[in-house]
Chain A
């Protein structure tokens, strides 16, 4: 149980294009999803908290217009990197918190490696 999927696992795009990353909880409903960014050999940096049906809460320094988050249902959140640039290249990983059970634990997706040329 508590499986989170992420799609795509890897994406290469040209500078200036937008990229959408999907995060799905497969066997539980996720009231809250989180989006992280991880640089090589570094820890996870929280970008934003996404609650179903409401606007995402962004961490300080994260541009909300650049990283658009939509949490349309209890099983799906999307992160769109708009007008991507090479400095946006990174490993993006989402997590989901189960509502009602296992409420303290975040379950992570496998991550998406974004490369912007």
Chain B
């Protein structure tokens, strides 16, 4: 069965520093997609970054980058130059094989300190 694991329930980072949020996944499929979303206290889910299983390059979107290590089945999110507004819940998700459904991790709550 496919599964997403986020082992860090909470993280702290100093403003302007970089932080890595861990995500590991389990799948037997060759083709899959990995996503990261940010959920501020307002509740909306904001799409951050996507990595396809066949993408050779790590995905980057502004201050967000995805450290994709296929052999280790990890897709860690790296946020550079943290800002106070980055404080939120972060979810890693994988597109379920054969469908467009997502499997979500349990999330990591990030707190950026001034």
Residues of A at the B interface (CB closer than 8 Å) are: 2, 32, 34, 38, 42-44, 46, 49, 91, 93, 95, 97, 104-111, 113
Contacts and interface: CB of A to CB of B under 8 A. Distances in A.
Contacts, number: 51
Highest count of chain A CB atoms <10 Å: which of B95, B100, B105: B100
Contacts of A107: 47
**Which applies to chain A's interface (DSSP): helix, strand, loop or mixed?**
strand
B100 A106 contact: yes
Interface residues of B, number: 21
Interface stretch (B13-21, B37-45, B74-82): B37-45
13 contacts: A42-B106, A43-B105, A44-B104, A49-B99, A93-B45, A95-B45, A106-B47, A108-B47, A109-B44, A111-B43, A111-B44, A111-B45, A113-B43
Interface of B: 33, 35, 37, 42-47, 50, 52, 91, 95, 99-102, 104-107
A104 B33 contact: yes
Given A93-B43, A105-B47, A110-B44, A43 B91 contact: yes
Contacts of B50: 104-105
Nearest to B43: A111
Contacts of B37: 108
Highest count of chain A CB atoms <10 Å: which of B37, B44, B46, B91: B44
Given A43-B106, A104-B50, A32 B43 contact: no
B64 to A, nearest CB: 14
A112 B91 CA distance: 19
Nearest to B91: A43
B19 to A, nearest CB: 20
A106 B42 contact: no
A106 B35 CA distance: 9
